[in-house]
Structure 1
Amino acid sequence: MEAKKKWDLLALASIPLVMTLGNSMLIPVLPEIEKELKISSFQVSMIITVYSIVAILLIPIAGYLSDRYGRKKVIIPSLFIAGIGGLISGWAAWQADNAFMLILVGRLLQGVGSSGAAPVVMPLVGDMFKEEEEVSSGLGLIETSNTIGKVLSPILGAFLATIIWFLPFWLIPVFCVLSILLVLFLVKVPKKDQEKQPFKEFLKNVKEIFHNEGKWLMAIFFIGGVIMFVLFGILFYLSTILEEKYGIKGVMKGLVLAVPLLALSICSYIAGKKIKQNKIVMKWCTFISMVLLGGSAFLITFFENVYFLLGALFIAGIGIGAALPCLDALITEGIDKEARGTITSIYSSMRFVGVALGPPIYAVLMQSSHEMVFYTSAGVSILAAIAAFFAIKPEKEKGGGDEGSKEAKPAKNLEPA
């Protein structure tokens, strides 16, 4: 990897870090927000869900705009909008009489900003490098930044809430400004990124991609959504149960929430480094990771001991962390640059579907039983493993040269299942 591009990557890595902090930082604070605003657990889950629903709807549009007008031209205004949303939520929590509704308005704007920031990073990394191995490594760094944000989020959010319960809202615009400055001064957009594609040609290209590659693409969309559904659902569950059942509050609760996320972060970094451009490895790593996630969730149904719970969730974090860079690399390296922003943005939308559905559905499941929470987690994870096994089919490596003496090279695209 070129040394000068490492600064570009570090600047780009700040975007998923900021977006993750802006969302996950509120997870440990949700019970406190519920008490302060005198709302239900379902209502407080809407603070996460509203953000995600808006992102789901707008991410594909942002992906198309980034393909047509340039990644950077979409990222910077989006970060600005996300910062404005943070200011509105922070002011509402501090001063407004009808604080809950105004907080949701601020979160809605944050979702608008998020839709054009973090999802556009993935195709930009794909644009920056020619070698697939460098793309995989770069995406591993981006996914690691995302997961580091998830590790830091509960600790930072819980700490800030011990000072003033609404302080996490106010930190979001600060992070956005820092990320805007990094992207403005450090990220050099490749010339290819500036080319415009006619809309009709773009639609024809996307339709052709889904016709030829639709089955494995849909499998990756589904798996990405399942991962985020389980992750944010369990984090919401843990945030509530640690306080209500085990009496773990404040920064200590943030540290406990960070345990599975730390495993996720470490494995995400290692996987990004090791998978290189080997799509067969990516497929099996994804399959095994989903089995690991489902198995660990199923085991939790037999025990309610907090230490066993955290140990099993640590293993689940390993599964999620190993799968995410594989999914990122499969979808980024398997799609041509002309439509990469749009296709990867649809993938990001599916991940946000999981984020949006996780907290409210788990809030309902929690009213049933501890077992139901983890039966559901195990069930959808095994469905994701089945999708990975049957739908993701990398082409077999083909030997080149006379008599097959030259080293085999993996094909660029995946065959449809």
Structure 2
Amino acid sequence: MLPVRKAPARPLSKLMASKQLPKLLVLLAAGCLTTMTGGIVSPVLPEIVQQLQLDPRWAGLLVSMHALAIAVCTPLFGILSDRIGKLKVLIPGLVLYAIFGTAGAWMQSFLPLLATRALLGAASGAVAAATIGLLGTMYEGDARSRILGYATSAMTTASILIPLIGGWVGQHHWQYAFYLYGFGLPLAAIAAVLLKEGQSGQSSVIPANQTQQLLQILRQPRTLQLYLTLALAASVVYSVVIYTPLYLREAIGATPLLNGSVLAVRAIGAAIVSALLASRLAKAMGTERAIALGFTLMSLTLATIPFLDQLEWIMPTAVLFGMGFGVVVPNVYDRLADQAPSELRSSVLAIGTGCNSLGQFISPLVLGPVWKYAGLPPVFYVAAAVALGTGLLNLLQHPQDSHQ
């Protein structure tokens, strides 16, 4: 691995210093918009399926189609943001996010709606690449680890509200939920005012001759394993995002608002754990063991979903699943950040975000046929097996690979 020097840890008060805080809040808000990309549609998916008379095998793609575009575009935008500057990618990405997202409200058939979802994903990829690149280069060492935890917490906190809002708006008509993507426009204006290229704290734009160094990092076995972990984690999470609303409607006749509530509760555990416990668990147990613990918790809760038909059991299970997710994500991204020097970190992290999105896209392709031919309960069993296997994969990492 290429050597990476870490800056000394800074206290929390300096992380949240008054000059940096407004910029940090803007970046966290942009990250929350990427969470909205799929979260808005999921609570109203049963209504879309019913009104457009969609094939169950392909219906889940409406929730995950954007993820394929993110998987393809985020690495490209990450490299571009390192070359031309992150703000030149972030602000146009926010504008296009609003345009393509709201366009879905006027689509009345499957293929045009799927196309707008793909374009929205491309714009979301630009936002994600620039945002995580800025966060990854504004801080170093333990400070970066904690900020990535706060970022995960902010996005999962947003995912508490987003399904609730999407479900509430979708109660009136599923198309209305798509108007929520319009928040990208005012955020683009705020980012243009508050974020300055020379004041964001990022390293200077990288020269083209560092491509070879980037390829060397990407060939590292540990880097590839972390990318695989992100993809599998995303596949597991999307098994919940896509199929839990369908299961709850079938099992208890859940409305869009109730489905949104269950998806929102799932994020509470993730928000708390990612902000307060993820980095502490990594220090106490070792990063790989902490990641394995998170996957194990996700696996156990997934396996119980088909046995739940009462809200007093469904809600705590959703919280526990979110807690496992909250341990996994910031620690995996922090390990990825360790793989590269600061001037290449946007590219490395953006590729990780692309792998995350690829996992989201693959999830319904694999699980859709399981749903169609075997029913919904086996969907959750397959996802639980994937989570358990991914946890074991991380547990088998050598001790010297763990955070010191």
Find the residue that maps to 1:39 and give its secondary structure: coil
Quote the Cα distance in structure 1 between the aligned partners of 2:49 and 2:377: 25
Q: Deviations over 1:193-220 (max 9, x none)?
A: 4634333x22210122134xx2221221
Quote the Cα distance in structure 2 between the aligned partners of 1:144 and 1:155: 17
Aligned to 2:269: 263
Aligned to 2:88: 73
1:59-70, aligned counterparts within 5 Å?
59-70=74-85
Quote the Cα distance in structure 1 between the aligned partners of 2:90 and 2:341: 21
- What is the Cα deviation at residue 234 of structure 1? 1.6
The structure whose Rg is larger is 1
Aligned to 2:118: 108
* Matched residue count: 386
1:91-130, aligned counterparts within 5 Å?
91-93=106-108, 99-130=109-140
Quote the Cα distance in structure 1 between the aligned partners of 2:107 and 2:300: 42
Aligned to 1:167: 176
Assess, with a 3 A threshold, how the Cα gap between structure 1 residues 300 and 185 changes in structure 2: closer, same or farther. same
Unaligned runs of 5+ in 1: 94-98, 398-409, 411-417
Aligned to 1:342: 347
Aligned to 1:4: 19
Aligned to 1:58: 73
Moved more, 60-69 or 325-334: 325-334
What is the TM-score normalised by the length of structure 1? 0.85
What is the TM-score normalised by the length of structure 2? 0.88
User: Are 2:253 and 1:247 equivalent residues in the alignment?
Assistant: yes
- Aligned letter for 2:61? M
- What is the Cα deviation at residue 78 of structure 1? 1.1
Quote the Cα distance in structure 1 between the aligned partners of 2:358 and 2:398: 21
- What is the Cα deviation at residue 357 of structure 1? 1.8
Aligned to 2:144: 135
- Aligned letter for 1:234? V
- What is the Cα deviation at residue 172 of structure 1? 0.4
Aligned to 1:90: 105
Assess, with a 3 A threshold, how the Cα gap between structure 1 residues 196 and 13 changes in structure 2: closer, same or farther. closer
Aligned to 2:204: 195
- Aligned letter for 2:355? M
Unaligned runs of 5+ in 2: 1-14
User: Are 2:231 and 1:225 equivalent residues in the alignment?
Assistant: yes
Assess, with a 3 A threshold, how the Cα gap between structure 1 residues 272 and 378 changes in structure 2: closer, same or farther. closer
Aligned to 1:333: 338
Q: Alpha carbon RMSD of aligned pairs, Å?
A: 2.3
- What is the Cα deviation at residue 392 of structure 1? 6.4
Question: Identity of aligned pairs, percent?
Answer: 21
Aligned to 1:358: 363
Match of 1:32 among 47, 52, 70: 47
Moved more, 114-123 or 303-312: 303-312
Quote the Cα distance in structure 1 between the aligned partners of 2:305 and 2:110: 34
User: Are 2:31 and 1:16 equivalent residues in the alignment?
Assistant: yes
Find the residue that maps to 2:206 and give its secondary structure: coil
Quote the Cα distance in structure 2 between the aligned partners of 1:72 and 1:272: 29
Aligned to 2:215: 207
Aligned to 2:12: none
Does the aligned pair in 2 maintain the 1:21–1:150 contact within 8 Å?
Answer: yes
Does the aligned pair in 2 maintain the 1:31–1:240 contact within 8 Å?
Answer: yes
Find the residue that maps to 1:380 and give its secondary structure: helix
User: Are 2:297 and 1:284 equivalent residues in the alignment?
Assistant: no
User: Are 2:162 and 1:153 equivalent residues in the alignment?
Assistant: yes
Find the residue that maps to 2:197 and give its secondary structure: coil
Quote the Cα distance in structure 2 between the aligned partners of 1:392 and 1:385: 14
Find the residue that maps to 1:335 and give its secondary structure: coil
Match of 2:153 among 144, 152, 163: 144
- Aligned letter for 1:206? L
